[in-house]
């Protein structure tokens, strides 16, 4: 998949470098598993270990089939995503002949990237790869925080799907793509992304758009976070639908060795001035979540697995419970949306899951929602983007606000391109452009 025929010295260089990263991360994952399986309530990581893990999670997303399709193009080999003119200009300036060369360059640069303490790596990344993808990496690393979840029910388990790194929990809006003349996801909001570690342990990336009681003690932080959330919501055709079904996850940001939570918010410990140090540690708890929350995560993974061929599980009893819950879930929950009835690949997939469940001697009443056209979501991409541009210009200050200065304590990006990153947070991308959402296909406003 990553054979670079333009590399005369080593066409398999990318595969080898990905293997090196996986080897380093496997030791970190082994440490997490050991701590969890030995009964500890959490695990500690040095800053470098956390950064390597964050890089790995993005690489797993960026190397996925959605990005592969994006850069390889359609059946005719044409790059068809909505930034094609921007990419074409970039390729001409940099001397690239094919979009796939841009992808290879980005993967190579990210794999080789040294995430220095001063944050100069962000400038390096923006200078060396396609800007949109550089900002995606920065956003993925700095606008979500890591948390670990485990079922509070001893019988509860998470499933593992082949595209688990490439799905999200959030809201999608549908509009008419003027290029393809088809209804597609033209605006999305990602609140959570997932990486199953074991059937009993799930790594969750949680968006900083969601409320954080510890940080929101500071009214400036709370109000600005809410304002960013509202701007993002207004980019959707129906802002009232922009909600997370997992907002109630009982997770918190990790404690660290340089700050503390007080009645006044986040404060530095004595001797700390806010500069990043290699000896800083982050202490992650293993948060216990309810059966309902486990079901919601599994439903998100199941609902996005229709284009894959493998679903792994720990125990049959747990999978039976998961499938029964998913297949019988009422259609108003935003899952199991089917287009064009029998011709839709989703319905074929749902029937396969139903057959698997029934093969174990039980029966399930499959429910799903059929949509033949987009009605109340009939809004064009241009209309959504125009409204978004107005909101951005109206609400984003030209200079960093008090909130931005305060939020540096919490890991907020500190760079001249920060507001460009914010625009990426707010605007989203169509699903065919952002492969992490390639299989969400929520052809109605959805909580998935």
Among the residue ranges 224-233, 330-339, 409-418, the one predicted with the least confidence is 409-418
Q: Is residue 158 part of a domain?
A: yes
pLDDT, one tens digit per residue, over 22-81 is: 999 999 999 999 999 999 999 999 999 999 999 999 999 998 877 888 888 776 677 877
From the list 163, 145, 175, the residue with the least C-alpha distance to 300 is: 163
Residue with tokens 């690239």, as numbered in its chain:
96
Give residue 111's Cα distance to chain centre: 19
Q: Is residue 448 part of a domain?
A: no
Alpha-carbon span 446 to 243, nearest angstrom:
9
pLDDT band at 10 (very low <50, low <70, confident <90, very high): low
Residue with tokens 């174990």, as numbered in its chain:
360
Residues 6+ apart with CB under 8 A from 306: 345, 346, 348, 349, 350, 439
Assess whether pLDDT exceeds 90 at residue 148: yes
* Range 219-243 average pLDDT: 89
pLDDT band at 172 (very low <50, low <70, confident <90, very high): confident
**45 bridge partner residues:** 282
Q: Is residue 215 part of a domain?
A: yes
pTM attached to this predicted model: 0.84
Among the residue ranges 70-74, 151-155, 399-403, the one predicted with the least confidence is 399-403
Determine the pLDDT at residue 222: 92
Alpha-carbon span 421 to 12, nearest angstrom:
32
Alpha-carbon span 187 to 265, nearest angstrom:
33
pLDDT band at 412 (very low <50, low <70, confident <90, very high): very low
Q: Is residue 45 part of a domain?
A: yes
**Tokens representing residue 195 in the block:** 């990486």
Q: Is residue 162 part of a domain?
A: yes
User: What is the length of the chain?
Assistant: 448
How does strand 160-161 pair with strand 311-312? antiparallel
Count CB neighbours of 353 within 10 A.
Answer: 20
Assess whether pLDDT exceeds 70 at residue 120: yes
pLDDT band at 183 (very low <50, low <70, confident <90, very high): low
Q: Which domain holds residue 313?
A: 13-437
In terms of pLDDT, which residue wins out, 283 or 395?
A: 283
Q: Is 193 buried (19+), middle (13-18) or exposed (0-12) by CB count in 10 A? A: buried
Q: Is residue 6 part of a domain?
A: no
Give the number of domains in the chain. Answer: 1
Q: Is residue 51 part of a domain?
A: yes
Residues 6+ apart with CB under 8 A from 254: 145, 146, 147, 282, 283, 284, 285
Give residue 124's Cα distance to chain centre: 23
Count CB neighbours of 267 within 10 A.
Answer: 13
From the list 422, 356, 361, the residue with the least C-alpha distance to 392 is: 422
Among the residue ranges 6-15, 309-318, 361-370, 435-444, the one predicted with the least confidence is 435-444
Q: Is residue 444 part of a domain?
A: no
In terms of pLDDT, which residue wins out, 418 or 183?
A: 183
């Amino acid at each position: 998949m990553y054979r670079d025929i333009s590399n005369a010295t080593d066409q398999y260089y990318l595969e080898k470098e990905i293997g090196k990263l996986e080897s380093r991360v496997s030791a970190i994952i082994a440490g997490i598993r050991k701590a969890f399986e030995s009964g500890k309530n959490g695990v500690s990581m040095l800053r470098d270990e956390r950064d390597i893990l964050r890089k790995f999670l993005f690489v797993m997303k960026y190397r996925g089939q959605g990005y592969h399709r994006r850069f390889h193009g359609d059946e005719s080999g044409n790059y068809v995503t909505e930034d094609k003119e921007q990419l074409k200009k970039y390729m001409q300036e940099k001397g690239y002949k094919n979009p796939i060369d841009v992808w290879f360059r980005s993967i190579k640069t990210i794999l080789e990237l040294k995430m220095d303490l001063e944050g100069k790596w962000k400038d390096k990344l923006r200078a060396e790869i396609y800007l949109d993808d550089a900002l995606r990496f920065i956003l993925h690393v700095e606008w979500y925080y890591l948390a670990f979840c485990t079922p509070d029910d001893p019988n509860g388990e998470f499933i593992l799907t082949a595209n688990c790194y490439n799905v999200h929990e959030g809201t999608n809006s549908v509009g008419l793509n003027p290029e393809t003349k088809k209804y597609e996801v033209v605006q999305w909001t990602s609140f959570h992304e997932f990486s199953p570690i074991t059937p009993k342990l799930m790594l969750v990336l949680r968006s900083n758009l969601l409320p954080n009681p510890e940080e929101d003690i500071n009214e400036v932080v709370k109000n600005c976070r809410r304002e960013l959330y509202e701007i993002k919501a207004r980019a959707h055709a129906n802002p009232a639908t922009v909600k997370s079904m997992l907002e109630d996850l009982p997770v918190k940001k990790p404690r660290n060795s340089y700050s503390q939570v007080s009645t006044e918010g986040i404060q530095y410990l004595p001797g700390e001035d806010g500069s990043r140090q290699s000896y800083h540690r982050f202490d992650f708890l293993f948060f216990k979540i309810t059966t309902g929350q486990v079901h919601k995560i599994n439903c998100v993974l199941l609902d996005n697995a229709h284009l894959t061929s493998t679903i792994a599980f720990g125990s049959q009893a747990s999978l039976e419970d998961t499938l029964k819950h998913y297949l019988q879930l009422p259609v108003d929950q935003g899952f199991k949306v089917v287009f064009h009835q029998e011709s839709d690949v989703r319905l074929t997939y749902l029937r396969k899951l139903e057959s698997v469940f029934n093969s174990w001697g039980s029966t399930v009443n499959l429910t799903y929602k059929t949509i033949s056209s987009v009605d109340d979501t009939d809004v064009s991409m241009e209309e959504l983007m125009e409204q978004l541009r107005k909101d951005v210009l109206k609400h984003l200050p030209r200079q960093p606000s008090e909130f931005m200065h305060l939020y540096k304590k919490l890991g907020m990006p500190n760079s001249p391109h920060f507001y460009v990153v914010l625009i990426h947070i707010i605007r989203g991308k169509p699903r065919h452009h952002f492969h992490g959402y390639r299989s969400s296909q929520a052809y109605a406003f959805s909580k998935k």
